[in-house]
Amino acid sequence: MLDSILYAGIDIGSSYTKVVLIDQNNDIQGSNIDFSGIKLHSAAETSLKAALPKNTNLTAVKKIVTTGFGRKIPAINQIPFANITEISCSAKAAQLFYPNKTLTIIDIGGQDTKIISMRNGKRTNFKMNRKCAAGTGTFIEELALKLRIDLGEMNTLASKSTNPEKISSYCTVFAASEVLSRIRKGAKIEDMIYGAFYSIVNRVLEIDTINTDVVLTGGLIAYNPIIADIFKEVLGKSMLLPPSPQLFVALGAALYASQLK
């Protein structure tokens, strides 16, 4: 791998930094996911190094595109770079997996959710959630925190639900209190957590109308496949899930990097 040429996409999200390295054939040669923390530049650099294939050093990386909430960091190791929004990067990755398709990408992130419309492979529109954590990953994180349940357990618990409960509060803070008080009154924890996932889906579907096939991406989807089941139930059709939903945006960024002049 010593002479390889790599292009990096670095998606610096509010919670995690995701890196994808591709070669000249757009094949993935490495990836990494790490906490973003406070120092975004060093998180990006560390993550980039961690994504490198064995026996490869940073000089193999010829171009970088940064994306996500922290995309406007300075250059890493003076490697030529650009920053492009996560919305465009999602669309770029979709063009690779679903060329020339008319579809809708739903990207549920830690602090915001995007709905991106593609017509015949071209991005035509996008919508983002309002300034509120309802319908984003934070909603589940907050709930897990309040319930003192490991975030990784939320999907397993929800999948045991036999009698899903509906959560009526819109606000993340109130919803967590509502879940707690209803559990105290006898509701089953798994039914309430299922209800929380259900509520995310409903909030997301308020952002825009959806009339096409749907691609689900983002960290929340990656760790909680139950969301895809709920979307399927609500929309009445199967969801398209790319191989690594959490790395989807970083892959799009890497594809842009490979085209940087």
Partner 1 sequence: MNTGDLYNLTKSPPIKSTQELRKISTAYFKDLEASSNDPNQKIAWCSSVGPAELLLALGFKVYYPENHTAMLGTSRLANKYIPAAIAQGYSPEICSYLTSDIGAFLHKETPFTKAYGLKEVPKPDVLAFNTNQCRDIQDWFNWYSKKLNIPIIGINSPSFVDDVKENHIHSVVTQLKDMIPVLEKISDQSFEKKKLNHIVNLSFQCSEKWQEVLETAKVAPSPITFWDSCIHMLPAVVLRGSQIAIDYYKMLKEELIERIENNEAAVPNEEFRIYWEGMPIWGKIRSLSEHLCDSQTSVVASTYCSSWIFTDLGSSTNEPFTNMAKAYTKLFINRSESSKEDYLIDKFKTFNIDGVIFHNARTCPNNSNTNYGMPKRLENRQNIPSIVIDADLNDLNVYSEEQTKTKIDAFVEQLAGV
Q: Does 128 bind partner 1 (CB under 8 A)?
A: yes
The nearest distance, CB 99 to partner 1, in angstroms, is 17
Query: Could you tell me the CA-to-CA distances from 68 to 87, 96, 205 in Å, in that order?
Result: 9, 19, 22
Toward partner 1, which CB reaches closer, 116 or 220? 116
Secondary structure E strands in the chain: 6-12, 16-22, 28-35, 61-67, 81-83, 103-108, 113-119, 122-128, 213-217
Give dist(CA 203, CA 136) in Å, integer: 9
* Contact by Cβ (8 Å): 65, 82: yes
Whole-angstrom distance, CA of residue 15 vs CA of residue 48: 16
Q: In this structure, what are the phi and psi dihedrals at residue 106, rounded to the nearest 5 degrees?
A: -110, 115
Taking CB under 8 A as the criterion, the residue among 7, 16, 69, 139 binding partner 1 is 69
Q: Does 124 bind partner 1 (CB under 8 A)?
A: yes
Residue 104: φ, ψ to 5°? -125, 130
**H/E segment holding residue 128:** strand 122-128
Write down the least CB distance from residue 13 to partner 1, Å: 12
Q: Which residue number, 39 or 122, has a Cβ lying nearer to partner 1?
A: 122
Task: Tell me the closest approach of the beta carbon of residue 5 to partner 1, in angstroms.
Answer: 23
Provide the mask over 89-118, with x wherever binding to partner 1 is found by CB under 8 A and - wherever it is not.
-----------------------x------
Q: Is 86 in the site for partner 1 (CB under 8 A)?
A: yes
69 vs 197, beta carbon nearer partner 1: 69
Tell whether residue 21 is a contact of partner 1 (CB under 8 A). Answer: no
172 phi, psi to nearest 5 deg: -55, -45
Closest CB 76 distance from partner 1, rounded Å? 20
Q: Which residues bind partner 1 (CB under 8 A)?
A: 69, 84-88, 112, 122-126, 128, 130-131
